Structure 1
Amino acid sequence: MTAEVKDNRAVTQDMIERFTDDFRSNPQHKVLMNAIKQNGINAVAMDQDAEVNMQQTFSHEIKSDKITDQKQSGRCWMFAGLNTLRHEVANNCNLKSFELSENYLTFWDKFEKANYLLESILDTLDEPLDSRIVQWLLMDPIQDGGQWDMFTSLVDKYGVMPKYVMPETYHSSRSGAMNELVTQKLREDAAKLRKQYQEEGVSPESLRDQKPALLNEIFRMLAHFLGEPPKRFDFEYRDKDETFHRDTNITPQEFYQKYVTINLHDYVSLINAPTEDKPFGRTFTVKYLGNVSGGQDVFYLNVPMETLKEATKQQIENNEPVWFGCDVTKMLNSKSGILDTAMYDYESALDVSMNLTKAEQLDYGNSQMTHAMVLQGVNIAEDGNPNRWKVENSWGEKPGKDGYFVMSDDWFNEFMYQVVVRKDYLPEELQTALNQEPIALEPWDPMGSLA
């Protein structure tokens, strides 16, 4: 007679009863359960001292402008990029406040992403339809998200313009339906190209000849959603001294060269990804991540947090804002605009441990870059180290202090993944390291996430 083999793979009734007894053995569990059920976990786990400690005063602060609002769209990377440039225009033109057109770059970003997808489909014609790479390409080809180098590619090619020349539209601010319909059209185009190659033997060169007709339809769709981008415009303004200025019939490229005067190629993206597969001091790129075909590739230099932070601090102290990418979903109080690792004590509220390292958070999918904003200030404590940072967000004026957030230095260490700084702020050996051939990461790598 064979002995009965115990199956420990399934959840058993005995197990459930033991867990129930364990939960009920601590009277505090019931108190917390009732409080969380009634008020939500964040209300119960919030540490009120964090709000007191994260005050909106800073020892080094760049002059603030009126906050922008990306509304129901995922264009934070673009808003953050333009927010770093608009301060230069305001300074050069002696303006109190200024905003560049996000809708203008939105149009060209969507259009270029459409071309980028079609080129990627042509590059992967020999891949099975169910391959990971083809399915990844088709998943969300013109999503709102982007990266700093994608922003640079757009500005290089198309320039910028004041917001009043091409203001927001219904679908630039509420992009869901537009993205869905343009994506549907692009998937149809991808299906046609792949079928012609696989079933009819049409060459990739002949398929590429069809691309202008396909892109013409995309252009038409985007023009309906976002308006037709102006080729020339008049720049008229009255400065802080009430002096009127007029510059007529200029192109977006001419406007950028004349009024922004920043060379975006003087900057580099530093990342802090302390995982075993990404050595510090090495450069990286990401396969099939971009918008402008033939534009600037995504390029990162991975550095220790101390190096990233020091370059960021120097740039702010020299009165220049810093574009950054982070995981805004973590430890955020959106109402008060506070980003702080001490904001919520989930461990005490739930009686569990939560101790993933930053590397483990990346490796196990618990964190990645989800949002881009701009650093506008830093508070240097008496010991000479930063303890909090001023953040310019793009969620309108209601969250935080008139739309501005404050970030603790501990949060910076834990959930900051990327900053864009002048190359001059890097030590000499890291400036030399920028000349390395970058290691190509897979599209689904955590560092391939879009802000």
Structure 2
Amino acid sequence: MSKEISIEQIKQFNNKYHSVPSHLISQRAVMKNGILASSENQASIVKNNPVFSIDLDTGDVSNQKQSGRCWMFAALNTFRHQISQTFHIKDFELSQNYTFFWDKFEKANYFYENILATSNESLTSRKVAFLLQTPQQDGGQWDMLVAIIQKYGIVPKQIMPETFSSSQSREINDFLNKKLRKDAVTLRKMVSDSKTSEEIAQVKERMLQEIYNLLATSLGTPPDSFDFSYVDTDGNYQLKQNLTPQSFYDEFIGRDLADYVSVINAPTADKPYNHMYSVELLGNVVGGKEVRHLNVDIETFKKLAIDQLKAGEAVWYGCDVGQSSTKDSGVMATDVYSVSETLDIDYQMTKAERLDYGESLMTHAMVITGVDLVDDKPTKWKIENSWGDKVGTKGYFVMSDDWLNEYTYQIVINKKFLPAELKDIVEKDDVTVLAPWDPMGALA
């Protein structure tokens, strides 16, 4: 039975609040400066200084601006590190706009196919509501970018540079989602009216043409072929002619993306370790690479990242960046804010509880480019962000090891660093499919 709050209770609450002197001290600070600024712990910032025993040279950071393409920037940054070192190119970037175009185009088709697949379910079904809530968005997962690259290749940023809509994506997302929802009405009605598959396919093709037109108008037209010129760090002019996006990838990057696996740490009861998971309705390219995760314990998780860093290769990773992190100094540490002391409230939850109860999930992807090992144990990690060079240390953040334990959920590892028993698990076709709204389906 519900019970209302009485006026007498309110008087008691007020009296108890004012009876604690520390409450009044916090009140004065928080009313003037806000909760976080009043709780910042300078000792944590000093402790997490940007010095690392393993520190990869990765150059200047990139800037995703007002878009949600962090997952894309992080992946392309791992590739540009390799290109810069191998071909001696300074301040080089790959075209985030090119992959953005094809991701948007493929997500539209992925949405249409899922709308058709669920067309016999009611609008109030959780799956249909899930699809219509956000038909597409900027976010993604590592495997989704792999699907784009495997199909469309990649180009330098100078070949397809940024546009207004790629750098400030809210407007294009609004109009894309408006169209996709309208098209969902049409497609569901065609199914209910028993239209033939050929008739539906013709209408869907027209819809895709309109999507292509919208994207080309906003983002530019992706190139089929191009010439790539640059001056290397020795001052030598280089020219590569008649490249395609696929041949550019093969010549300048050449990684077999099938060698990389998404490794997660999700310590919830429904996801036993040492098992593969996928997520229903999660993807972008129909018929492309499926999003799959290998769940491992946190110590294995960190060892894999360290082994890849020791081999000189940066690590794509996904985390909940908004938790206990400072944007100006770029420190992510569990003790960087003492909010529990400021507010006199215990906020402690386990990592599993935060995932199960909606308190945390992956919200951002970045690149791990270094780690500080003391007695062969990690104490803090160097992070390349994609928010420009005005935050952190010229755009680089520091993540404490405790913070990684609590708020990091995903890394991408070359399978050669996996022990034999984990390689066997990855190669087997034993995959548990999670619900579309599972936190491991979150898009960075």
Partner secondary structure for residue 291 of structure 1: coil
| Alignment of 1:415 onto 2:407 | yes
For 1:232, the equivalent position in structure 2 comes to 225
1:177 maps to a residue whose letter is E
2:346 maps to a residue whose letter is S
Q: Residue deviations 1:163-197, cap 9 Å, x none?
A: 01000000100000111101111111110011122
CA shift, 1:87, in A, is: 1.2
Contact 1:122 1:204 in 2 (8 A): no
For 2:156, the equivalent position in structure 1 comes to 162
1:74-93 equivalences under 5 Å are: 74-93=68-87
| Alignment of 1:388 onto 2:364 | no
| Alignment of 1:60 onto 2:54 | yes
| Alignment of 1:153 onto 2:147 | yes
| Partner residue of 2:350 out of 357, 361, 378 | 357
Contact 1:327 1:369 in 2 (8 A): yes
| Alignment of 1:339 onto 2:336 | no
Q: Matched residues in 2 for 1:96 and 1:388: separation? A: 28
93-102 or 339-348, which moves further after superposition?
93-102
Q: Give the RMSD, CA atoms, in angstroms.
A: 1.0
Q: Matched residues in 2 for 1:197 and 1:420: separation? A: 40
| Partner residue of 1:402 out of 394, 400, 415 | 394
Q: Residue deviations 1:379-425, cap 9 Å, x none?
A: 101x2101010000000110001101110000010000000011121
Q: Residue deviations 1:45-103, cap 9 Å, x none?
A: 11110111111111011112111000000000000010011111112212233100000
Q: Matched residues in 2 for 1:325 and 1:205: separation? A: 41
Partner secondary structure for residue 30 of structure 1: helix
| Partner residue of 1:429 out of 411, 421, 429 | 421
**Structure 2 residue ranges without an equivalent (≥5):** none
Q: Residue deviations 1:193-240, cap 9 Å, x none?
A: 111221x22134531232111100000001111011111110111111
**Structure 1 residue ranges without an equivalent (≥5):** 1-6
2:267 maps to a residue whose letter is P
2:139 maps to a residue whose letter is G
| Partner residue of 2:5 out of 11, 23, 29 | 11
| Alignment of 1:99 onto 2:93 | yes
| Alignment of 1:293 onto 2:286 | yes
Partner secondary structure for residue 420 of structure 1: strand
Contact 1:282 1:436 in 2 (8 A): no
1:34-49 equivalences under 5 Å are: 34-49=28-43
| Partner residue of 1:114 out of 100, 103, 108 | 108
CA shift, 1:8, in A, is: 5.9
1:144 maps to a residue whose letter is D
CA shift, 1:42, in A, is: 1.1
| Alignment of 1:315 onto 2:308 | yes
Partner secondary structure for residue 163 of structure 1: coil
Partner secondary structure for residue 362 of structure 2: coil
| Alignment of 1:186 onto 2:190 | no
| Alignment of 1:140 onto 2:134 | yes
Q: Matched residues in 1 for 2:6 and 2:200: separation? A: 58
Q: Residue deviations 1:227-268, cap 9 Å, x none?
A: 111111101111111111111121010000011011111110
Q: Residue deviations 1:420-449, cap 9 Å, x none?
A: 011121121111111142100011001110
1:223 maps to a residue whose letter is A
Identical positions, percent: 47
1:306 maps to a residue whose letter is E
- The TM-score, its normalising length taken from structure 1, stands at 0.97
Partner secondary structure for residue 440 of structure 1: strand
- The TM-score, its normalising length taken from structure 2, stands at 0.98
For 2:442, the equivalent position in structure 1 comes to 449
Q: Matched residues in 2 for 1:141 and 1:134: separation? A: 10
Q: Matched residues in 2 for 1:39 and 1:33: separation? A: 10
Q: Matched residues in 2 for 1:419 and 1:92: separation? A: 24
Q: Matched residues in 2 for 1:392 and 1:28: separation? A: 39
